[in-house]
Structure 1
Amino acid sequence: MRRIVQLAVLFLSVHCLAQAQAVSAAQQPGATSNGGDTGVVTLDRPYAISTAPHFAVLVQFPKADSIRRIALGDSNYFLAEADKADPHYAIVKQIRASVEKGKPPVETNMLVYMASGRVVNIMLKAGKLAETAYSVDYQVPETHVPNDPPAPAVSQEAIQKAKREQARRELSERMLDEVKKNPQKQPGIAAGGLTLHPSRTERLNELALVSFDIENTSAAVVDLEEPQINLVTATEKGKDRKKGVPAKVEPVQLAESVVSLKQLPPGAHAFCLVVFKPPVHDSDQHVVLSVSNRAMADQPATFRIE
């Protein structure tokens, strides 16, 4: 009976001691759990990893950086590329078996060009695999993106100019559309195998807009010259000059010129628009629109605008 009691006391003592040691081990500072281990081995300088055929080796770089390019010293034995979805990972593979036994294993280096400007040099040793996941740690400098300067304030003059140009475009489009859809039925001004049909004249601020159509009334294809606006000074009375010949013709610069068709088959029409700034002129001067057939440039069809 006494023997049984002694054995029972001994058993309880051992059990309590085991519990006390377990609690003590759990309370020791610095203890880590294998469950939280990532399985990635941190490389120290000089960086070197070993490889073997049929295995992929991962090299992880800081997440604040990304791989731009990888260069291999010997691409006959190794393959390396950045992960397309996550470019702070590189995958390294040995694509050929190492050299024969007794000879030193194949070694080369891998240069990894990073977005931060850093170039990481890693030695690759073929033949014997040690780990399959490594990490390279370093400080990535913070990049401060400069704030875009505020857009310069738009002047009232620029705003008004944009509004005038928009109004001119809209009026030009309306006038061209009108001359296309509503051709003039009245007889036009015939000259040089052409007939000029004036359509509409409008003033917009300091500009004048004139729409018209040109008809080829000849039996041949006609090449049109660019429309012209001229300031024509009439012949002085009493002067002995040819009838109808002006004393002076001055070209007026065009702000815009639209001709829908430059080469007209027989019977075809070209729909046109000119925009210009009318010159200041005297009573003996006139602003004249002139359109001519290139083959008969000395016989233009003309229309007096003002």
Structure 2
Amino acid sequence: MHIVAVLALDQVIPFDLATPLEVFGRVRLADGSTPYEVRVCAVGDTVEAGAFTLRARYGLDTLLAADTIILPGCADAAMVVPEKVLDHLRKAAAGGARVASICAGAFILAATGLLDGLRATTHWLAAPDLAARHPQIEVDPGVLYVDNGQFLTSAGAAAGLDLCLHLIRRDHGSAVAADAARLSVMPLEREGGQAQFIVPEQPPTPRGSVLEPLLSWMQENTDADVTLGDLAARGGMSIRTLNRRFREQTGTTPLQWLLRARIRRAQHLLEATDQPVEQIAGQVGFGSPTAFRDRFKLIVGTSPQSYRVAFRKS
């Protein structure tokens, strides 16, 4: 059982605290089993959380038994973190625990020194303060989350959901993460400009629209060599009308929609098969492996091979 310890300090932000409890707590594997045990731990028996007071079931020693530690933000980002908390976090990390922060929780993680020399993010309003307090950290306020392997940080509010889904995907693959996303009424992972492991959002298919048959065909035929004229003809409309309706109903162009569908299909093949990258490139409609690698890197933020190493399940 993978233990997820969520640290609740005084002034913890309730949304940040609840996010990992709900997301990890609802995960189910194909056989119906629960892969995560979520534990809320604190320094003392009770924690002040603004509108309410909570009683934590576990103490700080839970951090040392955890496989993953989540650090929710606190209302006062400048608060002094108790040294015993920092000491437990450092020991847990030294023992191999994965540590992730949500929103202003980055300040807690930064105080341990574990982010020194790494890239990190936090809520964009707090980013200048984090950078000023911890100049050893490369603070990027323009992304949803940053994955450094063992240490991860996310921006505010809903970005915490993105981070938790990303961790589930790392642990159990896209199918399990997709189920967790649906329970949270979230896309699997939003496009957010992250430099490592962006997972492009599933191209939308507006139900009941005149585009639905065409979009379904495109989704099922990502390997097809088609032009804009071919798509317009298949949809029974002019190129101008096709472009206009795509903009209205999907927010993008037909070819961009198709490219994202192809990359999404490629991600599945990289995770689920041993097929060479060159073979996958052809299967998802790219004329050359080089063109595939370039487009994959542009959308996902890493190479197909690196993606496979990170997300392939044995």
| TM norm structure 1 | 0.15
- Asked which structure has the greater CA Rg, the reply is 1
| TM norm structure 2 | 0.15
Structure richer in strand, relative to its length: 1
Structure richer in helix, relative to its length: 2
